[in-house]
Structure 1
Amino acid sequence: MATATLNAADAEKISKLQSSVSSLPQISENEKSGFINLVARYISGEAKQVEWSTIRTPTDEVVVPYDSLAPTPEDPDETRKLLDKLVVLKLNGGLGTTMGCTGPKSVIEVRNGLTFLDLIVIQIESLNSKYGCNVPLLLMNSFNTHDDTQKIVEKYSNSNIEIHTFNQSQYPRLIVEDFMPLPCKGITGKDGWYPPGHGDVFPALTNSGKLDALLSKGKEYVFIANSDNLGAVVDLKILHHLIQNKNEYCMEVTPKTLADVKGGTLISYEGKVQLLEIAQVPDEHVNEFKSIEKFKIFNTNNLWVNLNAIKRLVEADALKMEIIPNPKEVDGIKVLQLETAAGAAIRFFDQAIGINVPRSRFLPVKATSDLLLVQSDLYTLNDGFVSRNQARANPTNPSIELGPEFKKVSNFLSRFKSIPSIIELDILKVSGDVWFGAGVILKGKVVIAAKTGVKLEIPNGAVIENKEINGPEEV
């Protein structure tokens, strides 16, 4: 039972919830107790907000500049030994629904007909081949992505890489009105359930038996990252630094731009390094939190964690990350999902640090505007690694806004005969029924807004620089 202290009414609520949950055959005993534990902590009203006046900016010892990391050993044998201690884990629980796709987001084609998952496999394969090491790939699926992923990974059966999958927990959605599990009200399909955020990676890895299996093979560190972050590749300098300094946990952070103002940041708080998320910030300090002057870095969700430390903390039930309440509605019923984030676990590990990494290690694809960037000549693809084209002088990427006509991947792809050249582009805004021919070049600030009911076609080979276009005659 949770360590939270509950009053009599709340204790009765939890007791009723417990008996309802015990009758659900779809989930394991571990999942049932994890869920009850989370709800009890939530009901007890554990402190959400931080004491603003005691926040400190972390020093370079706590958030280490990437440039100050020691070079990796030159001896390939030493490199192989380093890599043999590593496991790569990709968070693969998300669906591509926001981009109009069915199935796991990791199977969206990113470039040259290759999906996120193809690129990840190629990257790790090339490491294993180059150094003669065995870095396995773990995929943490949710009940939403499990079946599809099992089918998809079969195609890699002959590749030079071990692939393991396991599922994160499945928790019942809570009915707001009476705090009962939704599946007990007859909603028995997928709508009755939710995966409780990526903070669940630590108990799920342990409960699946994968953690003990990895430890028995001499693995020491896991590199955890979102499957849609193309910049999250294995970095030997970081791995070497963590092993040398016995750091149990490392969060990669990178300098904040105006596009990242809502991202969590690292602070020194009560003598520990801690993740500060916007939800924990008192209302009167939200603008300060969003300032890129005061909080200069944000969490990329690339995390490196010691496997023995995970085992120790999960077995002691010590990972009590901040709870993120996520309200939803199912068939007109107001429900609540209680979630946690893996980054929030940083304060429970010994010798935990951040490393301030180059922006190139954060290249997520959340929308078709991001897809346009990575499919364009702004990036090149080599051995599964997507790297920025050196020909671009501006260190920041162009700002791209595409209208709703481009939101779904299929619509996006059909509206471009080929992806335009954007090496010299600063800003692109597209709205309305716009279609792009082949070989288009965009430079500077370009706004293309088709009038309502008008189909606007940008002809093959058009060069558009610092221009606003509303009709075909202006191209």
Structure 2
Amino acid sequence: MATVTLSPAEAEKISTLQSAVASLPQISENEKSGFINLVARYLSGEAQHIEWSKIQTPTDEVVVPYDSLAPAPEDAVETKKLLDKLVVLKLNGGLGTTMGCTGPKSVIEVRNGLTFLDLIVIQIESLNAKYGCNVPLLLMNSFNTHDDTQKIVEKYANSNIEIHTFNQSQYPRLVVDDFIPLPCKGNTGKDGWNPPGHGDVFPSLKNSGKLDALLSKGKEYVFIANSDNLGAVVDLKILNHLVRNKNEYCMEVTPKTLADVKGGTLISYEGKVQLLEIAQVPDENVNEFKSIEKFKIFNTNNLWVNLGAIKRLVEADALKMEIIPNPKEVDGVKVLQLETAAGAAIRFFDNAIGINVPRSRFLPVKATSDLLLVQSDLYTLNDGFVIRNPARANPANPSIELGPEFKKVANFLSRFKTIPSIIELDHLKVTGDVWFGAGVTLKGKVVIAAKPGVKLEIPDGAVIENKEINSPEDI
């Protein structure tokens, strides 16, 4: 275990915890020691305190403007060489519960009957076919998504990509009162456990044996992204830049809008580039952190990391990312799950940089309002790539707020005969029992609010521009 300074009371807690964890047959020795290590670090309070006055805005050498990158090689042979160094890894541990789905979020249908996973596979298939390269796809599952994903990937058996899956660690939730793992108290179901955040991608790659297997095949870089970010596609310019400049780690950041004020940002701190998350910000500086004047960029969680560097740092137990305590309640019992984020690892890698990418590389689908955007005429689909319609003049996407009636995917889909045209929409807010006919066009600022107990149907072919609608007469 890594050396951390603990008081006698904390050391006793860890000793009791070790005995308890030793008796859990569900997890491996690696997971047990990783978990104890994390809890010991948490108890020691080794959280890094940021001195606000030392924060500096990163220069263009540290956060490189995308437009300043050299063009990708035009020669197909050179491109193949570059792509043969690459592995794509999608974080696939999340469930679609917030959108009313069971099973992995990556199997929600996004467009034309295709799921997130279908689109990812089509994208890599077309790369491999176009350049004759072998870019494999790795899916990091959690114990929540593993079984379903194994069944789902069978349908890609005849594709031209190697698909590998591995699981991130499974850690017990801690009972807050006595720091005993919840599974030791008889809760052995899934509720007793948690995946410890995507910072766990680095040790899990190593522990699964996948890291050494990839290195032995000459792979050098892994592109890590959330499976629900439709903008996170392989970018040859970025890969080329990293290979040429020997950057061990690159975080894609993009300009912050008022919708992103809570997103982590990159700073220069004591000569290193590092991620600053809102949880690390002293209360008196939170408003400054949220301002888009001082902190102009945020982390998209599209990360490019050198595989050899991951091996070196994991073997040295050097990745001490900030711990994110996540309090929960299970059957009335207050529990704590400890997590880390992959972006926080940036400060441990040599020659780490950010690249300030166009907003098009950040297109996450976190709610049905995002699904409305990507299913609409604002985007088209080409070779698995979701491409923004050039007919849209405004560089920003419309802001969309849908009421609770639209929260679940099934309800959302049933309330639209077809997805409205929103090329010229700036803002949409829908509340109440609203149903949309086919071929509806929305423009400017539209508010549709059905009165309580009233079903409001928007007729087929309606064109609504800069209006508030409360009843059929308003249309």
TM-score w.r.t. the length of structure 2 is 1.00
SS in 2 for 1:380: strand
1:99 CA drift (Å): 0.1
Distance 1:348 1:47 in 2: 15
For residue 323 of structure 1, report the CA deviation from its aligned partner.
0.1
Q: Deviations over 1:322-374 (max 9, x none)?
A: 00000000010000000000000000000000000000000000000000000
1:300-341 deviation digits (Å, cap 9, x = unpaired): 000000000000000000000000000000010000000000
Contact 2:70 2:237 in 1 (8 A): yes
Q: Counterparts in 2 of 1:131-280, with a 5 A limit? A: 131-280=131-280
Q: Would you say the 8 A contact 2:47–2:323 is kept in 1?
A: no
Q: 1:115-139: per-residue Cα shift (whole Å, max 9, x none)?
A: 0000000000000000000000000
Please give the alpha-carbon distance, in whole angstroms, between the structure 1 residues aligned to 2:379 and 2:72.
Answer: 26
**CA deviation profile, 1:14-72 (whole Å, cap 9, x unmatched):** 00000000010000000000000000000001134311000000000000000000011
* Offset from partner CA, 1:188-240 (integer Å, 9 cap, x none): 00010000000000000000000000000000000000000000000000000
Post-superposition CA distance 1:420-451 (Å, at most 9, x none): 00000000000000000000000000000000
The secondary structure found in structure 2 opposite 1:263 is coil
- Superposed CA deviations along residues 440-469 of structure 1, whole A, max 9, x for unmatched, are 000000000000000000000000000000
| Inter-partner Cα distance in structure 2 for 1:394 and 1:45 | 47
Equivalent-residue separation in structure 1 for 2:377 and 2:9 (angstroms): 61
1:161 offset after TM fit, Å? 0.6
d(CA) in 1 for partners of 2:175, 2:248 = 38
Output the CA distance in 1 between the equivalents of 2:27 and 2:277.
30
Q: Distance in 2 between matches of 1:294 and 1:170?
A: 38
Q: Secondary structure at the match of 1:78?
A: helix
Distance in 2 (alpha carbons) for counterparts of 1:47 and 1:411: 43
Quote how far apart the aligned CAs of 1:419 are: 0.1
Task: State the Cα deviation string for residues 149-174 of structure 1 (Å, max 9, x = none).
Answer: 00000000000110000000000000
Tell me the SS of whatever aligns to 2:122.
helix
Q: Distance in 2 between matches of 1:46 and 1:267?
A: 20
Q: Please show how residues 312-327 of structure 1 align to structure 2 within 5 Å.
A: 312-327=312-327
Q: When the two structures are superposed, what TM-score results if normalisation uses the length of structure 1?
A: 1.00
Q: CA deviation at 1:2?
A: 2.7
- How many residue pairs align between the two structures? 475
Please say if residues 2 and 317 of structure 2, whose CA atoms lie closer than 8 Å, have aligned partners that are also in contact: no
Runs of 4+ that moved beyond 3 A: none
- Structure 2 gaps of 5+ residues are none
CA drift at 1:259: 0.3
Query: In the TM superposition, what whole-angstrom CA distance separates every residue of 1:356-413 from its partner, at most 9, and x where no partner exists?
Result: 0000000000000000000000000000000100000000000000000000000000
In the alignment, the residues of structure 1 paired with residue 447 and residue 229 of structure 2 have an alpha-carbon distance, to the nearest angstrom, of 28
Q: Counterpart of 1:26 in 2: which secondary structure?
A: coil
- Cα separation, 1, equivalents of 2:2 and 2:235: 38
How far 1:3 sits from its partner (Å)? 1.7
SS at match of 1:254: strand
Q: Residues of 2 paired with 1:75 and 1:388: CA distance?
A: 27
String of CA shifts for 1:222-263, please: whole Å, max 9, x gaps. 000000000000000000000000000000000000000000
Q: What is the aligned-residue identity percentage?
A: 90
The DSSP-based 3-state class of the residue aligned with 1:302 is strand
Partner of 1:266, secondary structure, is strand
Moved more, 45-54 or 118-127: 45-54
Q: Tell me what 2:81 maps to.
A: 81
The alignment partner of 1:303 has SS state of: strand
| C-alpha displacement of 1:11 | 0.3
